Amino acid sequence: MMRLLRALVQRWLVFALGVAAWEVAARGATDPAFPPPSRIVAKMYDLWFSGPVTGLFLTEGARADILPSLTRLATALALGTVLGVVAGLALGRSAHAHAYLDPVLQFFRAIPPPLLVPVFIVLFTVGAQMQVSSIVFSVIWPILLNTADGARTVERLQIDTARVFRMRPAERLFLIIIPAAMPKIFAGLRLALSLSLILMVFSELQPATENGIGFRLYDAYTRFDYQEMWAAIALLGVLGYLFNAALMAVERRVLAWHRGVRGVTA
Amino acid sequence: MIGRRRRAADAAPSRRIPRTGLIVRGATGVAALVAASELLGRAGIVHRDFFPPASAVLLRAAELATDPDFLTDLRITLTAWFLGLLIAIAVAVPAGVLLGSVPLVNTAVQAIVEFLRPIPSVALVPLVALLLGTELDMKLTVIVYASAWPILYNTVYGLRDVDPLAKETLRTFGFGRLAVMWRVSIPATAPFIATGVRMAAAVALILTVTAEMFGGFGDGLGVFAAQAQNVPGGIDDTLAVAVWAGLLGLAANAALVAGERRLFRWQYHGHSH
């Protein structure tokens, strides 16, 4: 019990002190650009979480800001993951296909995705399609290239064993290649997740956007509403934290068999 | 562990196809892509303003190389990218060494780090733009915020991965804490830090361009691309800038990988049986 308490204090003391210091400093300075944390939290509550119990406390604002963003993010991540993993597996299993396409794919990955947002705006005009495609473009490359890398480097012994057991191609794919590529796929997903958040926000920061957290942020920017901007930033931090935690939990579960499982962001 | 495993894997696949074969095939792939998009662009299936033929984009990209306005933009972007990355290294490596070697500091600060890291850096762009304007200061702030994390995390994990036996050995010979740090821990961590820097370089370029596009005024590749979208037919310019940025990203990555190979040759030899 004492031990637990001490660990808790060690872990949270500096954090609590930091927040307290920020609160005191911000109250003392009364600079509108740096509101105290208590006011930021209050603003978040007002904007998004003061709704009725029946709506899970979500306000009208939450339905306009958070839900559209999350829907687009989820759609794009699902699309990007499916496309990236399928293409990556195909590419990883053929040394020739890989040799032909690797430079092209590396080039696409190297393009900073925000630069293509204007292109997607021209193609789809501002809206969900443009936003989803921007996110898909950012997530597909790390997933694809990591999957290909993972599928390429299945151990010789495993492939030979599969041959000895006369496994059918489908069995070989699902029982050997995909599990072997899994750690790499998850490494790609972690990179993809942080890129997807960047593109989610950036695609919503475009003028003429209609909803989303990025839209709220841009709207607050045009009105010099610092409190609302801080609230949006904090909300994005919380969401980023939750998504990351969820991905790590899935990864730990899926890769439980893999001895190299650690919370490493490499 | 992770870094080493990846290197061992990198070395394996090229064995089957010889190096010249790889280059020829890679070049063929590029040529095929250019030809396909050229056909698609010329066939009139998609509108010229939506999907210009590859030749037009590449020609425009080549033209830009002699365009003084573009070269100014390029210089401004490179400066912000490079400076931002340099500051991030200067901040994140010492911080990572501190966190990785003093457990008490690590537990104490961990909550703050976990709270700050998930904030998508681009969310800071509008706030910092209001506070600092849209010039170099603003860009550097968001670049450093975004690119410090991978360096910090890799430094911490690298330090944790140092062979305890090596440290013990030096300690029994009477070396002090700092000497062990300097002679064993830092060299053993260096490859991890290098991987972190390589990841940071990619993120830093993204944030440089993002910050420039958001500002929309002044100089920089992002500004160039953002302004092009308001002009009819500007999509050629936007795509030409994307080509340039992609090539810059590739060049930076290649340079960093080459640097790693050269600096940490001992590691490659040890693990790519």
Check residue B206 and give its pLDDT: 94
Question: Tens of pLDDT along chain A (266 residues)?
Answer: 777 888 778 778 888 888 899 889 888 887 888 888 888 998 888 888 877 777 677 777 788 888 999 999 999 999 999 999 999 999 988 888 888 888 899 999 999 999 999 888 888 878 888 899 999 999 999 999 999 989 888 877 887 888 888 888 888 888 888 888 898 999 999 999 999 999 999 999 988 888 889 999 999 998 999 999 999 999 999 999 999 999 999 998 888 877 555 444 44
**Residue among A106, A115, A241 minimizing CB distance to B209:** A115
pLDDT for B189-207, tens place per residue? 899 999 999 999 999 999 9
DSSP assignments along A215-237, one per residue: HHHHHHHHTT-HHHHHHHHHHHH
Mutate to test the interface with A, among B1, B145, B213 (most CBs of A within 10 A): B213
B27 has a chain A CB within 8 A of its CB:
yes
DSSP reduced 3-state for B12:
coil
Nearest chain A residue to B114 by CA: give it.
A241
Judge: B249–A111 Cβ closer than 8 Å, yes or no: yes
Check residue A213 and give its pLDDT: 92
Q: Does residue B180 contact residue B60 with C-beta atoms inside 8 Å?
A: no
The mean per-residue pLDDT over the stretch B244-272 comes to: 81
Rounded CA gap, B220 and B71, in Å? 9
Q: Phi and psi at residue A223, in whole multiples of 5°?
A: -100, 10
B18 has a chain A CB within 8 A of its CB:
no
Which strand (E) or helix (H) includes residue A263?
Answer: none
Rounded CA gap, B170 and B182, in Å? 11
Q: Which residues contact A172 (CB under 8 A, 6 or more apart)?
A: A159, A162
A222 Cα to chain B: minimum distance (Å): 9
Rounded CA gap, B84 and A2, in Å? 45
Chain A positions in Cβ-Cβ contact with residue B51 (cut-off 8 Å) = 123
Q: Which residues contact A180 (CB under 8 A, 6 or more apart)?
A: A150, A151, A153, A154, A155, A158
Estimate to the nearest angstrom the gap between the alpha carbon of A254 and the chain centroid: 18
- Average confidence score pLDDT of chain B: 84
Nearest chain B residue to A104 by CA: give it.
B30
Nearest chain A residue to B246 by CA: give it.
A111
A223 Cα to chain B: minimum distance (Å): 11
A169 has a chain B CB within 8 A of its CB:
no
Q: How many CB atoms lie within 10 A of CB B186?
A: 18
A117 has a chain B CB within 8 A of its CB:
yes
Nearest chain B residue to A261 by CA: give it.
B2
Judge: A112–B239 Cβ closer than 8 Å, yes or no: no
Nearest chain B residue to A197 by CA: give it.
B120
A224 has a chain B CB within 8 A of its CB:
yes
B209 has a chain A CB within 8 A of its CB:
yes
| More confident: B261 or B45 | B261
For B132-168, b where at least 16 C-beta lie within 10 A, e where not — what string?
eebbbebbbbbbbbbbbbbbbbbbbbbbebbeeeebe
How many residues in chain A?
Answer: 266
Judge: B245–A115 Cβ closer than 8 Å, yes or no: yes
Q: What is the pTM of this model?
A: 0.87
How would residue B52 be classed by pLDDT, with cut points 50, 70 and 90? confident
Q: Which of B238, B192, B222 is nearest to B49 (CA)?
A: B238
**Residue among B21, B118, B125 minimizing CB distance to A244:** B118
pLDDT for B107-157, tens place per residue? 888 888 888 888 999 999 999 988 888 788 889 999 999 999 999 999 998
B258 has a chain A CB within 8 A of its CB:
no
Rounded CA gap, B111 and B92, in Å? 17
Chain A positions in Cβ-Cβ contact with residue B30 (cut-off 8 Å) = 103-104, 107
Judge: B29–A102 Cβ closer than 8 Å, yes or no: yes
pLDDT for B66-111, tens place per residue? 989 899 999 999 999 999 999 999 999 999 999 988 888 888 888 8
Q: How many CB atoms lie within 10 A of CB B32?
A: 13
Check residue B202 and give its pLDDT: 93
Chain B positions in Cβ-Cβ contact with residue A239 (cut-off 8 Å) = 118
Rounded CA gap, A217 and B136, in Å? 22
Chain B positions in Cβ-Cβ contact with residue A33 (cut-off 8 Å) = 130-131
**Residue among A11, A114, A224 minimizing CB distance to B107:** A11
Q: Does residue A48 contact residue A235 with C-beta atoms inside 8 Å?
A: yes
Judge: A116–B130 Cβ closer than 8 Å, yes or no: no
A195: which 2 tokens?
A: 């890129």
Check residue B155 and give its pLDDT: 94
| More confident: B261 or B39 | B261
| Chain A 61-90, residues with CB within 8 Å of chain B CB atoms | none
Q: Maximum Cα–Cα distance for chain B, whole Å?
A: 77
Q: Does residue A154 contact residue A183 with C-beta atoms inside 8 Å?
A: no
Check residue B267 and give its pLDDT: 66
- On the 0-12 / 13-18 / 19+ scale of CB atoms within 10 A, B112 is middle
The mean per-residue pLDDT over the stretch B200-216 comes to: 91
| Chain B 141-200, residues with CB within 8 Å of chain A CB atoms | 150, 153-154, 157, 192, 195
